[in-house]
Structure 1
Amino acid sequence: MDGRVLVTGAAGFIGFHMVRRLLADGWIVSGIDNLNDYYDPGLKRDRLAQLEGHPAFQFQPLDLANRETMQTLFAGPHFDVVINLAAQAGVRHSLEAPHSYVDSNVVGFLNVLEGCRAQGVSHLLFASSSSVYGANNRLPYSVHDPVDHPLSLYAATKRAGELMAHSYAHLYGIPSTGLRFFTVYGPWGRPDMAYFSFTQKILTGQPIPVFNHGQMQRDFTYIDDIIEGVTRLIPHAPGAQNTWPEDPASSAAPFCIHNIGNHTPIALTDFIHTLEGCLGKSAQIEWLPMQDGDVVATYADVSPLQQSVGFAPDTPLHKGLQHFVNWYRQYYG
């Protein structure tokens, strides 16, 4: 691969790993991030420090929601590909700070779309979320299912992003691929995610909060599998499909959606036992009722991804968690 790619959210968990892979594959990479304090900005700076000095990487501290600076960015060198991974993340936090979700995930994404339109970008790939499936109780989650009942504002903003991207694909012919990620974990992860906070609490002897009394399942997906899936999709810019409107996953515009998940739901109690084994220490558990905005189970149907690029995530949980624990012990001493 060659050419120039823009990665938004480059100091974030997925963004950092994406930039590292793109550089290894020979791309020229421009990265932006606003380095906000939703979680420890020091962790974000340490991720960037792993990328500094690479001759093909340039970073700018920019906020997607700032229209003027985004216009200036897209007035510069042409991007062959844009990968939008910047977002205000977290289901529960969206109950407390709703405006930040609209600013980042709606207004910010609109500025990305406008930049892609101005430059005539060859392929836009953008992060969505398994959260968009909301009240859908049919498992596994399929891109062919309707997703009209989000259960959190976070999910609603990610679904809004999908619809906005489709409208730009239709109006301006921007080939766009939405990426519905499923519970991503691994080294350099986000401290607000359960696996990260559980690790910190178990090691320090604090009780871990377990919602819905442990009756939850998640499709935990290792970060390297996420990056592999996105990387394989880069040269597969979508074209118009002929089964619309009967199939919600297709469109007369150059637009498509893919699930990227491990297609293996794990019970939360089994997840905790696996983490205990990796840490060599037992957890103290605080059993709690269901949290507003949560869903009981997630489970990805990745057959369209397999058909498109011949890949499906398959890293076993025990292996991925051990990689994370090894990194955690090294990073935090």
Structure 2
Amino acid sequence: MAKILVTGAAGFIGFHLANKLLNEGCDVIGLDNMNDYYDPGLKRSRLELLKEHRNFKFYLCHLENHEQVDDIFKQNDISVVVHLAAQAGVRYSITNPRAYVDSNLAGFMNILETCRHHKAEHLIYASSSSVYGANTLMPFSVTHNVDHPVSLYAATKKANELMAHTYSHLYKLPTTGLRFFTVYGPWGRPDMAYFSFTKAILNNEPIKVFNHGNMKRDFTYIDDIVEGIVKLIGKQAEPNPQWQSDNPDPSTSTAPYRIYNIGNNNPVDLGHFISTIEKKLNKTAIKEYVPMQPGDVHATYADVDDLIRDIDFKPSTSIEDGLEKFLDWYVHYYASIRNDGVQSVSLR
């Protein structure tokens, strides 16, 4: 079976992907720097579950350290890289921009160089729906121009796509970029709205409803995301023989390069999203309506036709079912570590 490197293996998506691959018999090399952008305890809990698999090997590593990254490749016969490690967070990039340069630019450069020199068969990497920035034409399509980011985080993800194309063109490295659309589910990131909303509601604290609730997001359940990534691992990016330089398709190339949206293709109104959490918890949120925050966008909505065509991508989890699974995990996980205010909650 394939030996696959998953960067960000202790992160939300990386954990779920690594667990899926391990259960399918793949040898997984996990890499993570275990930073404290959010609770490292949650990352350690994910990692402990992965370490229960005999076919999992973990390295504590900072991507900016190119020698350490290269050593990991030298020590392991890695055929595919799924690069999910990054400094996440739109708002955090406003106040801590250098963290994004180090991880998302320098770190990605090291991944590209290492894949090149060790002749990786396929590099799949995380981009983001945030690259659509100031675009308002919905649904967002990979054929749309994405030259107007509204956060540094988005700019680094756009830069990753450009860097990947350069390596695909110069060195024939097959690269596939995935623009994720608001991924949620069990073991999720505490900085995401659904997570912080849940914590606040359970503790009778107010939640901040940005742009006075006039927002929509294409929430995508983690299992649907992972299913898509697994299908793409065995589908190397290939050159597009119909690509035209006088009418260029931004998502393909004469090089082995692809960009896909990976989302639910079904945006959900923020008010409905909050009310679903309230119903499942049987508690009413204390809402504090506030203006739009710098770097935010009003709505996201993924056109996933290319992914449907190429791998039969079929997201199937409704927001109601997905949130129920998340909330069930949340209650049980935090009850198990004796977090006050959670143990007595019963879900509807």
Asked if these proteins are the same fold (TM beyond 0.5), I'd say: yes
Q: Structure 1: how far apart are the matches of 2:28 and 2:207? A: 39
Deviation string, structure 1 residues 254-303 (Cα, Å, up to 9, x no partner): 00011110000011011000111111111000000010000000000000
Q: Structure 1: how far apart are the matches of 2:17 and 2:145? A: 29
Q: Look up the match of 1:299.
A: 301
Deviation string, structure 1 residues 83-141 (Cα, Å, up to 9, x no partner): 00000000000001000011110100000001100111111000000000101111000
One-letter code of the match for 2:74?
A
Q: Look up the match of 1:104.
A: 103
Q: Structure 2: how far apart are the matches of 1:278 and 1:259? A: 30
Q: Structure 2: how far apart are the matches of 1:205 and 1:31? A: 38
How far the C-alpha of 1:53 sits from its partner, in A, is 2.9
Give the 3-state SS of the residue equivalent to 1:240 in structure 2.
Answer: coil
Q: Look up the match of 2:232.
A: 233
Q: Structure 1: how far apart are the matches of 2:173 and 2:314? A: 26
Give the 3-state SS of the residue equivalent to 1:327 in structure 2.
Answer: helix
Q: Look up the match of 2:154.
A: 155
One-letter code of the match for 1:243?
W
One-letter code of the match for 2:219?
F
TM-score (norm: length of structure 1) = 0.98
Aligned 1:127-146 pairs, distance under 5 A: 127-146=126-145
Q: Look up the match of 1:196.
A: 195
Q: Structure 1: how far apart are the matches of 2:316 and 2:161? A: 26
Q: Look up the match of 1:71.
A: 70
Deviation string, structure 1 residues 143-196 (Cα, Å, up to 9, x no partner): 111110000000000110011011001011110000000000000000000000
Aligned 1:42-121 pairs, distance under 5 A: 42-121=41-120
Q: Look up the match of 1:169.
A: 168
One-letter code of the match for 2:243?
T
How far the C-alpha of 1:68 sits from its partner, in A, is 1.7
The worse-fitting range, judged by mean Cα deviation, of 51-60 and 241-250 is 241-250
CA contact (8 A) 1:226 1:260 kept: yes
Q: Look up the match of 2:339.
A: none
How far the C-alpha of 1:24 sits from its partner, in A, is 1.2
The worse-fitting range, judged by mean Cα deviation, of 221-230 and 65-74 is 65-74
Where structure 2 has 5 or more consecutive residues not aligned to the other structure, the ranges are: 336-348
Q: Look up the match of 1:207.
A: 206
Q: Does 1:325 align with 2:327?
A: yes
The count of residues paired between Structure 1 and Structure 2 equals 332
Distance 1:234 1:244, change over 3 A: farther
Q: Structure 2: how far apart are the matches of 1:144 and 1:100? A: 30
Q: Structure 2: how far apart are the matches of 1:74 and 1:80? A: 10
How far the C-alpha of 1:314 sits from its partner, in A, is 2.5
How far the C-alpha of 1:3 sits from its partner, in A, is 1.4
Give the 3-state SS of the residue equivalent to 2:125 in structure 1.
Answer: strand
One-letter code of the match for 1:225?
D
One-letter code of the match for 1:305?
L
Give the 3-state SS of the residue equivalent to 1:75 in structure 2.
Answer: helix
TM-score (norm: length of structure 2) = 0.94
Where structure 1 has 5 or more consecutive residues not aligned to the other structure, the ranges are: none
How far the C-alpha of 1:76 sits from its partner, in A, is 2.0
Q: Structure 1: how far apart are the matches of 2:33 and 2:244? A: 38
Superposition CA RMSD, Å = 0.8
CA contact (8 A) 1:87 1:104 kept: yes
